[in-house]
Amino acid sequence: MQNIELRTDRHHKQRKVSWLELFFDLVFVVIIARIAHNFLSDISWSGFGTFIFMFLSVWWMWSSVSYFTERFASTEQVQRIYVFLMMIPVVGMTIFTHHGFGENYPGFAIFYLISRVIFFGMILYATLKIKEYKAVGIGFMGFTSLAIALIIGSLFVGEDIRLYLWGAAILMEVLGPMFTLNQQVKLPSNVKSSAVDERYGLLTIIVVGEVIASNANTLADSHHITSQILINGLLALWIGFSIWWMYFDSVSKRELPDKPEDGLKMAGWVYAHIFLNIAIIASAVGIAAVVLGHAHSPEKILLSASLGFVMILVSLIEMTLNEEESHSQNTSAPVFIKILFGVVAISVPFAFQDISATILMLVLSVVILLRQIPMIVFRRRKQP
């Protein structure tokens, strides 16, 4: 095998996620927790905006490695060099996450720039080595170069303009691949030979783990745990379990779209996961804010809205996947019904403004359960 070549369904067997990739994923546990903690300390529109742009930059670093390992079949040496190099900026950004868009912005931005330069170098390497990849590679390098220029520029402006430049750079990188979609679908398919669904599933597990961790950390930091707080903690755990249940029962057992004409579906699957991960982390922050029982309206709205969007986004991801006999419309609720449950969850704190934290989490738990009942019934019928 050459040092690097396109991974294709025709010439490569389905690969498994490597120990190196699992190691890389675990590095993200700390920075995701730090970003969530920052949002918890400032639950406001401003705090939400900072959270979104920070998480998008972190997610895109993770996606850069995931894309490279799934799109290309390369030697172990190439993969190790790339992954270990990318770990350095992840750790660096973690150090400067607190006040990352304030006094610590130079450190936060410089380490992100390092990750983009590394990614640019790897895409350049692939473009030079693989003739068929040239058009796609040039597109990726173009958008990455523009993002690098914007972030460098943001180092020399005030705080009020900095966030806009950062946001423009991140959105340019995240949305850039859509402009190369016509070229990407012409490349040999690699869906069946890759482990992309497993990679995204593992990241989702890490994000769901933050829901459990935020609940445990909040209870551990409480100086006086009452029976009411324990009940809230159990309800919060159930919500965390339910998020895992919704995602992996509804999504993980379906096949990804693998036909050339399914390029938009595959793109939708990827982008929906971005927002799903954002919603899950926001749920973790919402749980940490309400579990002690003295939450105000913004915290309750955050929890309900984020959980509602989790339900909606899982339903939208289902729509991008290949239909299977075991997941036909007769086996579970139609997607629009599942989306409706998400809308109901979002509306709860608006309909009942004085609702307590305990009742809110109980109602949300029931809504999730009702959403999953058709799947439970089907699985019981299927058992011999």
Reported as a pLDDT band with limits 50, 70 and 90, residue 373 is: confident
Provide the 3-class DSSP secondary structure of residue 4: strand
Q: How many domains are there within the chain?
A: 2
Mean pLDDT, the chain, whole residue set: 87
Nearest CA to 358 out of 232, 184, 254 is that of 232
Q: Which pLDDT does position 345 carry in this prediction?
A: 95
The per-residue pLDDT for range 169-197, each reduced to its tens digit, is: 999 998 888 888 888 888 877 666 678 88
- Residue 317 token pair: 């991801």
- For residues 123 and 145, give the distance between their C-alpha atoms in angstroms, rounded to a whole number: 12
- For residues 125 and 63, give the distance between their C-alpha atoms in angstroms, rounded to a whole number: 18
Pick from 184, 218, 239: which residue ends a domain? 184
The per-residue pLDDT for range 85-137, each reduced to its tens digit, is: 999 999 999 999 998 898 999 999 999 999 999 999 999 999 999 999 999 99
Q: Which pLDDT does position 224 carry in this prediction?
A: 82
Averaged pLDDT for residues 61-82: 89
Please check whether residue 97 lies inside any domain of the structure: yes
Residue 70 has pLDDT above 90, yes or no: no
More reliable by pLDDT, 132 or 15: 132
By mean pLDDT, which of 118-127, 149-158, 290-299 is the weakest? 290-299
Provide the 3-class DSSP secondary structure of residue 6: strand
User: How wide is the angle at C-alpha 223 spanned by C-alphas 218 and 227, nearest 5°?
Assistant: 80
Please check whether residue 170 lies inside any domain of the structure: yes
Percent of the chain residues topping a pLDDT of 90: 56
- Residues 315, 341, single domain; the answer is yes
Backbone φ and ψ for 142, nearest 5 degrees, come out as -65, -50
- DSSP designation for 332: S
Q: Which pLDDT does position 40 carry in this prediction?
A: 92
- For residues 293 and 361, give the distance between their C-alpha atoms in angstroms, rounded to a whole number: 10
Q: The domain containing residue 263 runs over which residues?
A: 196-382
Averaged pLDDT for residues 263-269: 84
Q: Are 196 and 79 in contact (CB under 8 A)?
A: no
Averaged pLDDT for residues 265-274: 89
Please check whether residue 189 lies inside any domain of the structure: no
Residue 293 has pLDDT above 80, yes or no: no
Q: Which pLDDT does position 354 carry in this prediction?
A: 87
- Residues 173, 200, single domain; the answer is no
Please check whether residue 11 lies inside any domain of the structure: yes
- Residues 102, 174, single domain; the answer is yes
Averaged pLDDT for residues 225-229: 87
Please check whether residue 283 lies inside any domain of the structure: yes
Q: Which pLDDT does position 379 carry in this prediction?
A: 56
